[in-house]
A = this chain, B = another copy of it.
Amino acid sequence: MSKKNMFLSDLMPVNKAQHMISSLIKNIGTEEISLEDAYKRVLSKEIVSLLNSPPFERSAMDGYAIRAEDTFGFSENSPAKLKIIDTIGAGQVSNTIIKAGEAVKIATGAPIPKGANAVVMEEYTVSQNNDLDVEISIAPGENISPMGEDIETGDIILKKGKILKPQDLALIASAGYSEIEVFKKPKIGVITTGNELIMPQKNISGAEIINSNHYTFKSFVESALAIPTVVHCFDSEKMVEDTFETLLESHDGLISTGGTAISKGDVVVDVTEKIGEVLIHGVALRPGKPFGFGIAHEKPIFLLSGYPVAAMVQADVFVRNNLYKMQGINITPQYILKIASKKIPSSLGRTDYIRSKTENRNVKPLKIKGSGIIRSMVESDSYIIIEENIEGIGKGEECNVLTYDSLIV
């Protein structure tokens, strides 16, 4: 007879459970991919430039490569008179050497010809046939980008762990790479359990409940930049065991929903214990007490509640950062301080994650209903977090807030 299981004294503190899980999660290895496909991927080693960029001294403008000293003292009313002796388009190289009084028409990005030390913008010139009037006095170096101005051969341009943005890809390309090594994206098996669950439909009957977790956790895994496979199991130990074993062969971890309450058959917990080891079962978290965590075949198994909101909170508290960690992304949730717009009761001995709505410097706890109330997750934008040693927050007091957006990379 299981009596008084999951009473507070048996529950693992949230912080302890978080640390235990994180300490067991490692990245799942690396792979070589095309730079084309690298948006939001994570570098698994630093990038050292193979090249100078720009690879040569080049013109930053459309205009004329000249000797700056030929323009000194000249102006619109008294222009310098030069001779155009050549034209260099983008992608062209010229062997011309510029001497005093000479100019070469040059396109943005083209290599500066020998002898020139500045480029005058076309807008400050008047040309007719080969005669060029320069109506401005310019300084040496003007409108010239030096070789290696952006990056030099051998520069470390990006570090391991960097999540790649468009500008990072541009820099890597300029450094000479079309392929890079990144951390693999974890493949995650999601197993929803429950005999009562059906897929969404207009007509439901009896004790049927729509399996919203199917959608929540497919997209949750996607939001964590991982790759989901979602299957449903009835509350059958054999079916769950077969599914766990099959998915573990081809996936890097599992997330299950349902069947974690101590008092029930606890199919997923029993199966995890059978094929591996259950390390956590029951945490001092509200909502979300019946959370479990285990390892089988050296892969993590996250056992979430069947109740939608409890499961979402558990996923935010214990799963998301670990899916990131599996692909080399280390993030620690950053609390912000906000002022509670009403009193928030809490009990000692458990950590509360209270759905809330921020508004400027304030945060308002939403009316807290059951852990099945999905709408509260939709209407909130954050959690107020009340640590287990705090007995509640008074109206007007500061409290720790974690916005949902801040959890997503």
A-side residues, CB < 8 A to B, are 1-7, 35-36, 38-39, 50-51, 53-56, 60, 62-63, 88-93, 107-111, 122-123, 125-128, 145, 149-151, 157-158, 164-178, 194-197, 199-202, 204, 206-220, 222-223, 230, 235, 261, 263-264, 306-308, 312, 369-375, 377-378, 404
Instruction: Indicate which residue in B5, B200, B217 contacts A177 across the interface (CB closer than 8 Å).
Output: B200
Instruction: Indicate which residue in B3, B200, B308, B375 contacts A123 across the interface (CB closer than 8 Å).
Output: B3
Known A-B contacts A370-B60, A375-B157; A172 and B215 likewise in contact (beta carbons under 8 Å): yes
Residues of B within 8 A of A369 (CB): 149
Instruction: Indicate which residue in B90, B195, B208 contacts A89 across the interface (CB closer than 8 Å).
Output: B195
CA distance A172 to B219 in the complex (A): 13
Residues of B within 8 A of A108 (CB): 261, 264, 306-307
Residues of B within 8 A of A110 (CB): 196, 207
Interface centre among A108, A151, A199, A201 (most CB of B within 10 A): A108
3 closest cross-chain pairs (CB), A and B: A91-B196, A91-B195, A39-B219
CA distance A369 to B263 in the complex (A): 66
CA distance A308 to B173 in the complex (A): 12
Residues of B within 8 A of A54 (CB): 209, 372
Instruction: Indicate which residue in B93, B157, B306 contacts A109 across the interface (CB closer than 8 Å).
Output: B306
CA distance A202 to B373 in the complex (A): 57
Residues of B within 8 A of A202 (CB): 50-51, 176
Known A-B contacts A169-B219, A370-B149, A375-B157; A178 and B195 likewise in contact (beta carbons under 8 Å): no
Say how far A62's CB is from chain B's closest CB, in angstroms.
Answer: 4
Residues of B within 8 A of A217 (CB): 166
Residues of B within 8 A of A127 (CB): 1
Interface centre among A110, A215, A218 (most CB of B within 10 A): A215
Residues of B within 8 A of A306 (CB): 90, 108-109
Whether B36 lies near A218 (C-beta < 8 A) is: yes
Whether B145 lies near A92 (C-beta < 8 A) is: no
Instruction: Indicate which residue in B35, B90, B158, B308 contacts A196 across the interface (CB closer than 8 Å).
Output: B90
Instruction: Indicate which residue in B53, B223, B312 contacts A210 across the interface (CB closer than 8 Å).
Output: B53
Whether A194 lies near B91 (C-beta < 8 A) is: yes
CA distance A361 to B111 in the complex (A): 42
Known A-B contacts A168-B378, A215-B36; A373 and B149 likewise in contact (beta carbons under 8 Å): yes
